[in-house]
Chains A and B, each alone.
Chain A
């Protein structure tokens, strides 16, 4: 069976972890890895796995897009460079899956809106943030039962799993995740907090989701909805687990989660990488399946904006 050929932009933690997931895909084939540091661990690993590599940034990839038949690109750089990267690749007819907090395209959390998104034929989809991928399914699970006035999430990440890009741009993480709690989670107001914990051995990613619902919480229905959604997420993130809750205190629902990774690039504590890269891979696979069966055709380069 043929596969859709892909490029990975950004050779840091996220890009490298994603590469391992794509190498296992039935419908995606990673062909290029793009970095800016020739000595980066990610580029070395990509070369070992037989990918073509460039350390010249996205401009090093552009001349090869057509000849190598690249149809989907993943951007794991930063919100600041993403806008240009996306424009350049969209111009060449390449669909962009955005793993930065730039959020210039529609937001995507697979179990929440992936099916719906497919019909819209976007050329850029945004994966929000690791915390967003881990928590929005829970907010959506609660808001599917009754209206959520306010959703607040706290993501605790191990220090070793948080790369320099995220560290230098924490505000973008905060804004993008808070916004997505509203847009996709269905909360009237969203707030995201991130904590980076340096403990050794590193702690597994934890996420706490608080929802304040309108009226008295329907405990049985919310509990059932949360548990069903956990099963959905576990399909692509097997280490996604409910530790405590849902706990009900007045109109407040508290859900305590743990996300263990598969250990593809960083060890299993870095579930924050996996939840993001698995969601991106899942999203791209859905588009790839539709490209392969002919239900989705990307615009020709000369027609693309």
Chain B
């Protein structure tokens, strides 16, 4: 079975059903959860995740509720969790306070795509200080100088975006991006890779090159479609539907039976 980090947006479609999302993903075999804290202006995300973030904010997401959500997921399903969000939310809360609250909630680490080396607001130092992980999001076009900066950080985990652009569009896996993954081996980090990964065949192709594949928009789309389809049913019925669909989808992606 392949390792997968499954992405979800907390409070999408609402708090209770996003708990069902987490449960479905873990039951289906997700090795990690990437829980996104929705931001009003998610400029690195494609339409599926943008729309989900907007719904989640309308459903009453706040940063404090987000941390409580993460704590409950951790307690109930005991899965390693990365909190993903944008600089805006961290900066507003204060870097140290945000990271420390995430650690208290039980997160293994943080994915902060718009806080890159050189403009990271001290997030890496704080993470080191608090003995937690910041998982840098890197791209195959990264310059040699920037890759050197990455090496100097000795990150425990690295997130590779497999192509340019935003989340959710299809990605071709070939010599360029797979070769890039292999060249990261000397880093000694656990390399995860995503952007446009939606099918078992892609996960299989990635498997020998990564610690885990990352699946995001494909799962968020399942949640959105199921929520739409069950909009005239009770929240509980809708949650059951979402949970079982995600379990099935995850089982297929990891290659379980």
Do the two chains bind?
Answer: no
Q: What residues of chain B have their CB less than 8 Å away from a CB belonging to chain A? A: none
Q: What residues of chain A have their CB less than 8 Å away from a CB belonging to chain B? A: none
